[in-house]
Amino acid sequence: MKIGFIGLGNMGAPMARNLVAAGHEVTGFDLAPVEVEGMTKVATAEEAAKGQEVVITMLPNGQILRSVAAQIMPVMAQGAVLLDCSTVDVESARQVAQDCATAGLLALDAPVSGGIGGAQAGTLTFMVGGSDAAFAIAKPLFDIMGQKAVHCGESGAGQGAKICNNMILGITMIGTCEAFALADKLGLDASKLFDVVSTSSGYSWSTNAYCPVPGVGPNSPADRDYQPGFAAELMLKDLRLSQQAAESVAADTPLGQAATDLYATFVEKEDGKGRDFSAMLPRLAARARGQ
Ligand code: NAD
């Protein structure tokens, strides 16, 4: 397939590499000087998008997505798919899809779960919003870049699924860290608590697959001095998107809001920036109640 790829950062570059390795003809653009072996690098977003069957974007946020989309839509081939894999607000995803429809293009919002490791290994999960026709065209690409693609519904549904999932993750990680910090203060051994929780009703991905305690459970960022992994500032970005979405439909999300506030403090007022989001554990453990 002839593919354009715009946004070749931590996630985009390895995703593009996997498409090249599978034999696709990939033309890429990034503002930064990034090289992907076997990919044709061009100097503008328009050049990357022109005449392609699918144009993939992997960009930092909704505002940048909107501006790149406005740039490339006029040069895209009729019936081509604009496949956005960035995590952005639901409203931007829907607006870009609507503009694509007006311009005779197909659009998918397909944010991912699985992080940089998943992008490199080609094991991402895609959560996809858009038409059946667009999904069918992109499906073989999802199969290369990921291990699973769930067609969640119409435009915006992929972003909705992503931020709901990550709101659960942020809340659960804080709960897990609170419990392990409390257990330590109660004199309880963390590996014993892991044995109990990981097989009891408190279990979750945060404990079972990503335990925030060093030396306990499977290998995780806690075992590497909380080097990310999934950085606390990315968790904060997704939690803020969840609260923006909740506000837009008047949904009551008190724990989502509390998790957002706590990660905002951790990232913007403390030392959380650049650390894995599970570093919430040492942060809580070092504090006394009411501090
Ligand atoms: P990144 O900052 O490493 O990459 C973004 C890239 O976009 C950069 O290389 C930047 O130069 C480029 N860019 C910015 N503006 C541009 C423009 N106008 N035209 C062309 N290129 C432009 O970020 P990342 O970690 O690769 O994340 C990309 C997206 O994936 C984000 O929306 C993020 O929330 C999401 N995501 C990231 C992770 C993760 O673990 N890193 C996991 C899931 C989802």
* Nearest Cα residue to atom 13 of ligand 1: 7
Q: What pLDDT was estimated at residue 88?
A: 97
Which protein residue has the closest C-alpha to ligand 1 atom 38?
Answer: 115
Find out whether 259 and 174 touch, Cβ atoms under 8 Å: yes
pLDDT, residue 25, reads 98
> What's the pTM value of the predicted model, to 2 decimals?
0.95
148, 162, 185, 237: which is the annotated catalytic residue? 162
Under the banding of pLDDT at 50, 70 and 90, the label for residue 96 is very high
Average pLDDT over residues 83-88: 98
89 lines ligand 1 (CB under 6 A): no
pLDDT at 290: 87
- Ligand 1 pocket member 120 (CB < 6 A): no
Q: Is residue 162 among the annotated active site residues?
A: yes
Number of the ligand 1 atom closest to the C-alpha atom of 229: 40
